[in-house]
Amino acid sequence: MKFVKPLLRILLVIVVVVGVVFAITQRAHQTCNELDIESAYQRENLPVTEAEIAETIQKADVALGKQVKEIDLKAVHNAIANNALIRSIDHIGFRGSNLVVKLTLEEILMQVFCANEQHYFITTNGKVLPYTERIKERLIIVNGESLPTQKKASIQKGTMQSIFAMAKYITQTSDREAQYRQIHLNSKKQIELVPTIGNYTILFGDTSRMEEKFAALDHFFQQVTTTDRGDEYKHLDVRFKNKIIAS
């Protein structure tokens, strides 16, 4: 009797393995007739829809109507890999005979307007994208006379690195993001902020002591709100340590 339980366990394992092998074999001969696209995106308006991604795969003729065993997953990957609005393709596999594609979409941080009327996007991870009307989100607007064109834009150095860091910092909180929607680079290559409320500009200079400068602005706005004197100022200068020059 002491051999019965181990024998039953072995038989159970064999049955399970045979069942799994049989299921896999059966699925391999099934025809793929559906695509399940699952996209991860933190905002509301998808820059590219799941239906459009599915259509791209269909046009490539690499999945639908084929037996599962005939589908080349690398070919499916290649069919959508060149879409600039896709950040990463996280998984391609099967759920039954359905082809499942899981991916993460790019999230746009800011829209840059150059002096030559060219404009482009920069994503939250620093990728530069050409302008497209598909982007419907409310973004940080960046403009100025000395901004690089799309071909020369890079957040790895210089002014664009500072502007990118500031835009990332602004979007860390919903209150700050609601208050500051425009970053301007003036003729002296100094950063200015244009608040959403009021008729004044904020001369920020550069992004040194950035957190300190924003904290000083928060304190200043709390004071002027209390005294109702906010409309008296046209310019705020936060370049200097421990003080704000209002004029």
Give pLDDT, residue 129. Answer: 93
**Distance in angstroms (rounded) separating the CA atoms of residues 105 and 150:** 21
In Å, what is the CA distance from 40 to each residue of 44, 47, 174, 202? 11, 11, 21, 36
H helix and E strand count, the chain: 6, 12
| Dihedral sign (CA 223, 227, 231, 232) | negative
pTM over 0.85: no
3-class DSSP state of 192: strand
63, 71 contact by CB (below 8 A): yes
Rounded CA-CA distance 238/153 in Å is 27
pLDDT of 199 reads 82
For the stretch 131-153, pLDDT in tens is: 988 888 889 999 998 898 888 88
The whole-number pLDDT of residue 149 equals 87
| Cα(190)–Cα(100) distance, integer angstroms | 48
Phi, then psi, of 22 in degrees rounded to 5: -65, -45
CA–CA gap between residue 148 and residue 135 (Å, rounded): 21
The tens-digit pLDDT sequence of the chain (247 residues) is: 555 566 556 666 655 554 544 444 445 568 888 899 999 998 888 889 999 999 999 999 988 888 888 889 999 999 999 999 999 999 999 988 899 999 999 999 999 998 777 899 999 999 999 998 888 888 999 999 889 888 888 888 889 999 999 999 999 999 999 999 999 999 999 999 998 887 889 999 999 999 999 999 888 888 775 555 556 778 899 999 888 888 8
